[in-house]
Amino acid sequence: MGACGYRSSTSWRIRGWSPPWRSRPRPPGGTASFVWDHLRWERPVRDVADPWISLAAVATATEAIRFGPMVTPLARRRPLKVARETVTLDGLGSGRLVLGVGLGDDRFGREFASTGECTDPRGRARMLDESLDVLAAAWSGEPVHHHGEHYRIDGVEIRPLPHRREGIPVWVAGSAGRRKPLQRAARHQGYVPVNIEHPDQLAESVAAIDDLRGRPDEPYDVAVGLPVSSDPRRFASAGATWWLTELDPTSVTPDLVRGVIRDGPRSD
Each residue's pLDDT tens digit, 32-59: 889 888 877 777 877 888 999 999 999 9
Residue of higher predicted confidence among 37 and 92: 92
Q: Which has the higher per-residue pLDDT, 211 or 20?
A: 211
**Could you give the CA distance from residue 128 to residue 231 in angstroms, rounded to a whole number?**
33
- Residue in 233, 241, 189 with CA at minimum distance from that of residue 213: 189
What confidence score (pLDDT) does residue 24 get?
40
Q: For residue 107, what pLDDT is reported?
A: 76
**All residues at 6 or more sequence positions from 25 whose CB lies less than 8 Å from its CB, including other chains:** 217, 218, 219
- What CA dihedral angle connects 247, 250, 251 and 257, to 10 degrees? 40
Evaluated on CA atoms 255, 198, 188, 72, the torsion sign reads negative
The length of the chain is 268
Cα distance between residue 79 and residue 76, in whole Å: 9
**C-beta separation of 216 from 23 below 8 A:** yes
Domain ranges of the chain: 8-263
Q: What is the structure's pLDDT at 265?
A: 66
- Averaged confidence pLDDT in the chain: 84
Q: Look up residue 224 and give its DSSP letter.
A: E
Task: List strand residue ranges (DSSP E) for the chain, in order.
Answer: 8-13, 31-35, 66-69, 72-73, 99-102, 144-147, 152-156, 170-175, 190-194, 221-227, 242-246
Superfamily of domain 8-263: Luciferase-like domain (3.20.20.30)
The whole-number pLDDT of residue 257 equals 80
pLDDT at 11: 55
pLDDT band at 185 (very low <50, low <70, confident <90, very high): very high
In order of 15, 136, 142, 161, 165, the CA distances from 158 in angstroms are 36, 11, 7, 8, 15
Query: What does the pLDDT average to over 65-73?
Result: 93
Helices 79-92 + 51-61 axis angle, to 10: 20
Under the phi-then-psi rule, with left for phi > 0, alpha for psi from -120 to 50, and beta for the rest, what region is 197? alpha
pTM of the predicted model, to two decimals?
0.86
Q: Tens digit of pLDDT for each residue in 187-241?
A: 999 999 998 889 999 999 999 999 999 887 788 999 998 888 788 889 999 999 9
Q: Is the per-residue pLDDT at 25 higher than 50?
A: no
pLDDT of 29 > 70? The answer is no
pLDDT attached to residue 119: 81
Mean pLDDT in residue range 52-78? 93
In tens, the pLDDT along 104-148 reads 887 767 888 888 887 888 999 999 999 999 999 999 999 999 999
